[in-house]
Amino acid sequence: MDAEPKNTGGKAEPWGDITPDAARRLVSAAVHAFAERGYHATTTRDIASRAGMSPAALYIHYKTKEELLYQISKVGHERALAIVERARDSEGTHAERLVDAVRSFVRWHAEHHTTARVVQYELGALAEEHHAEVIAVRKATDGAVRSIIEDGVKAGVFDVPDVRGTTVAVLSLCIDVARWFNAAGRSTPDEVGGLYAGLVLRMVGAGGRGDGRS
Partner DNA sequence: CAACCCCCTAAGCGCTTGCTCACTCTCCGT
Partner DNA sequence: ACGGAGAGTGAGCAAGCGCTTAGGGGGTTG
Residue 149 contacts residue 203 (beta carbons within 8 Å) = no
Residue 82 interacts with which of a second copy, DNA, none, CB < 5 to 8 Å by class: none
Q: Which sign does the torsion angle of CA 144, 147, 151, 152 carry?
A: positive
CA distance 71 to 23: 11
- Part in contact with a second copy (CB under 8 A); list of ranges 7-15, 87-95, 107-115, 175-183: 175-183
Residues that contact DNA, how many (by CB under 7 A):
19
Name which of 29 and 192 has its Cβ closer to a second copy: 192
**Which x/- pattern, by CB under 7 A, does the window 130-169 give for DNA?**
----------------------------------------
Name which of 11 and 40 has its Cβ closer to a second copy: 40
- Part in contact with DNA (CB under 7 A); list of ranges 3-11, 43-51, 162-170, 189-197: 43-51
Shortest distance in whole angstroms from residue 164 CB to a second copy: 7
Residue 151 contacts residue 94 (beta carbons within 8 Å) = yes
Q: What is the DSSP letter of 125?
A: G
CA distance 19 to 22: 7
CA distance 187 to 3: 28
Whether residue 161 has a cis bond before it, omega within 30° of 0: no
Query: Is 65 a binder of DNA (CB under 7 A)?
Result: yes
Residues at the site binding DNA, with contacts judged by CB under 7 A:
20, 22, 42-45, 48, 53-57, 59-61, 63-66
